[in-house]
Chains A and B, each alone.
Chain A
Amino acid sequence: MAQKKKLYALTGKKKYSFNLPLTETIKIGKRHYKIMIKEDEKHGTYILWKNRRYPVEIIQSRQNKFEILFNYVSYSFTIETPFSLKRKRYLDNARGKIETEKIQAPMPGKIIEVLVREGTEISRGEPLLILEAMKMQNEINCPHSGVVTSVNVKNEMNVMKDDVMIEIKIAK
């Protein structure tokens, strides 16, 4: 893949860039620091960086999308090439950034009450439904203001982790 000299790891609005071939060093300022992925029975997989072990787990890896638990904090990245990044920007513009947010079940459980219907206008932080899991009734709140476009669950229904329960069209 001769034309791919670089890869970007995108998270939110931040972009980290890495040269190819990818080396086991990270440049901070002018210095290069060694970074290593290791594994042993006692610690599992970890990253060795400046003589310290950091726990690392791959929560999800799907095509070019990764969710990584690094030092107990989860980070989501999409890996882009210079061209795919350009394409992404073009498509984001073309689609006018109307995006739907899928509300997925954070854990397996039972739906106690659905508090919205298709077409409900809802603002950030308002409760969408009550999900019972681990003996607790959890209010699932709306992460963005918008309009409910589809409700895929009913009261008393059991859901699995990551099941899409509700979809919301995000208001700009």
Chain B
Amino acid sequence: MDIDGKYYRAFKERLEKLDAQSSKEKIRKQHAKGKLTARERLDILLDEGSFEEIDAFVVPDTEGIEFGKVEKNYGDGVITGHGKINNRLVFIYAQDFTVMGGSLGIVHARKIVKTQEMALKMGAPIIALIDSGGARIQEGIASLSGYASIFHNIIRSSGIIPQIAVIMGPAAGGAVYSPALMDFVFMTSYTSYMFVTGPNVVKEVLNEDVSFEELGGAEIHAKKSGVANFIYDDEENTILGLKKFFSYIPSNNVENPPRIEEENKTPGENKKLLEIVPDDPNKAYDVKEVILNIVDKNSFYEASELFAPNIITAFARLDGKTIGIIANQPKVLAGVLDINSSVKGARFIRFCDNYNIPLLTFEDVPGFLPGIDQEHSGIIRHGAKLLYAYSEASVPKITVILRKSYGGAYIVMNSKNLGGDFNYAWPTAEIAVMGPEGAVAILYRKELAETEDPKKLKAKLVKKYRDRIANPFVADEKGFIDEVIDPATTRTKLITAFEALANKWVEVPSRKHGNIPL
């Protein structure tokens, strides 16, 4: 080929122009906001030299624009392509705030749609790095149609390939629904926002003053709305977290999650486990300590940590294999089930079920949270989601009852007859229709009213109830649990059990889809 020829020269010039587009000034501006540029983000996220860009040279659709103006540029404010994370293929699109504020026009949208379609065909995960001012007003309804196509594609791919949104700048208006439809949302504190209507509109319509951060900052979405599943203090840590997340999940719904064997195997027996759960059922403890003493070292990645912390949802590994953990957290509200924790648990279970991630449940739950607020806000239908999700899940399901397991909550938390494959209990377990105090108060109301020292009688009856009923042995003898196990050897027990369940398959009646109580 004649490298001095016209076409080759034009080819080279174009490349130079693309480079020049990301001027130092623009990069400086982005940095000055405490943000990285889209290309820098891709650099950190993807294995070195693995990124292959698609459609780098498309230009915005300027035809028919009658209002405002669209500057000509290459790429139309979004970088799309594929690359590798720890040697595994992912498709990715990264909005570029330095080009027209990353606003979404029809060409921008087409690039994203193209990437989505490829990811689905290839059975590879797709990542959206979002940093965009929203719909491109100049392009009018065309840009809205762009959003609609993107949403439609997300829904088509849902449950087939993992779809992850990483919010690293603004995401406002309709744009928020693309992360909302995806499987998990990452956010970077202080520099990312999500809201359907921004502070200005809130001020106009409701006359309420609220800042960007207070309305839709990372912390709000992590703690209150539950929209953000993972938040980090800065972009580099956000991306590092995303990489960690990917080490737990498979590329699609046919594959198994990857296996990462430990270099130094964690021993199967751990005496520390004998000391964490207090004998006194009214004493709190941190269930994370139980988990960390069972799973592989350095393998605990918690999702939605700050939202409804009375239930823990986390990825972890056992003998190198990914599991999804759902655990009641006695440290917070005694680990009670309420609306938020039910929804949080249900959504996590469904993700795991989609992507062949076995479920491990640690149970210590006093019941559902009573109260007008909960009842009126629909604990019935929200609690049902958790029940539905557990029962529907066809991946291997194991429950370990650590302590309290009462009433409706006992049923919900993956009980045997709800389809639990192996249901174990520690000797500290109390399995019963209700807690000893409540049961004694109902069954011995008369005696308690008549005695001189009701406190003493109650203590005596509670003790009797514990000895006779609220212990794991009754349930064990009746077959409602499979085995009472030694806490110290829980890890070995679980590894063996999951191994036995590795090829579990459940036939489901053919249907379009079930009707989960949304």
| A positions within 8 Å CB-CB of B | 1-4, 63-64, 80-81, 83-84, 86-88, 90-91, 94-95, 108, 160
Contacts and interface: CB of A to CB of B under 8 A. Distances in A.
Interface string B148-189: 000000000000000000000000000000000000000000
6 contacts: A63-B241, A84-B235, A84-B237, A86-B31, A90-B34, A91-B190
B265 interface: no
B235 to A, nearest CB: 8
A63 B302 CA distance: 11
A90 B233 CA distance: 13
B234 A84 contact: yes
Contact of A63 (B31, B40, B48, B232): B232
Given A63-B241, A84-B236, A87-B34, A160 B331 contact: yes
Nearest to A93: B34
Contact of A2 (B34, B43, B190, B233): B43
B237 A63 contact: yes
Contacts, number: 44
B36 interface: yes
B241 to A, nearest CB: 7
A90 B236 contact: no
Contact of B33 (A2, A90, A108, A160): A90
A108 B284 CA distance: 10
Which among A3, A83, A86 has the highest number of chain B CB atoms within 10 Å? A83
A81 B36 CA distance: 13
Interface centre among A3, A63, A88, A94 (most CB of B within 10 A): A63
A81 B236 contact: yes
A3 B31 contact: no
Contacts of A83: 31, 36, 234, 236
B32 interface: yes
Interface in B195-242: 232-237, 241
Contacts of A80: 234
Contacts of B191: 91
A80 B44 CA distance: 15
A81 B236 CA distance: 8
B237 to A, nearest CB: 5
B284 A3 contact: no
B250 to A, nearest CB: 25
Nearest to B331: A160
Contacts of B232: 63
Interface in B43-75: 43-44, 48
A42 B233 CA distance: 38
Given A64-B233, A90-B33, A160-B284, 16 more contacts: A2-B43, A63-B233, A80-B234, A83-B31, A83-B234, A83-B236, A84-B236, A84-B237, A86-B31, A87-B35, A88-B234, A90-B34, A91-B190, A91-B191, A94-B34, A95-B190
A86 B40 CA distance: 15
Interface of B: 31-36, 40, 43-44, 48, 190-191, 232-237, 241, 284, 331
Nearest to B213: A95
Contacts of A3: 40, 43-44
A153 to B, nearest CB: 14
Which 8 A-B pairs give the minimum distances between C-beta atoms?
A87-B34, A84-B234, A90-B34, A91-B190, A91-B34, A84-B236, A87-B234, A64-B237
A87 B191 CA distance: 10
A42 B462 CA distance: 43
Contacts of A64: 233-234, 237
A130 B108 CA distance: 59
Contacts of B190: 91, 95
Nearest to B241: A63
Contacts of A84: 233-237
A84 B31 CA distance: 10
Nearest to B35: A87
Contacts of B44: 1, 3
Contacts of B34: 86-88, 90-91, 94
Contacts of B235: 84, 87
A2 B51 CA distance: 14
A18 B381 CA distance: 53
A67 to B, nearest CB: 16
A86 to B, nearest CB: 7
B134 to A, nearest CB: 22
A90 B191 CA distance: 11
Give the residue among B48, B190, B232 with the most A Cβ atoms within 10 A: B190
Nearest to B189: A91
Contacts of B48: 2
A160 to B, nearest CB: 6
Contacts of B284: 108, 160
A83 B43 CA distance: 14
B495 to A, nearest CB: 24
B315 to A, nearest CB: 16
Contacts of B234: 64, 80, 83-84, 87-88
A95 to B, nearest CB: 8
A3 B33 CA distance: 20
A94 B35 CA distance: 13
A95 B190 CA distance: 9
A82 to B, nearest CB: 10
Contacts of B35: 87
Contacts of B236: 4, 81, 83-84
A6 B34 CA distance: 18
A64 B36 CA distance: 18
A3 B41 CA distance: 11
A13 B40 CA distance: 29
A2 B237 CA distance: 15
A40 to B, nearest CB: 14
Contacts of A88: 34, 234
B259 to A, nearest CB: 24
Contacts of A90: 32-34
Contacts of B331: 160
A68 B31 CA distance: 32
A2 B44 CA distance: 8
Q: Pick from A1, A86, A88 the residue with the most CB of B within 10 Å.
A: A1
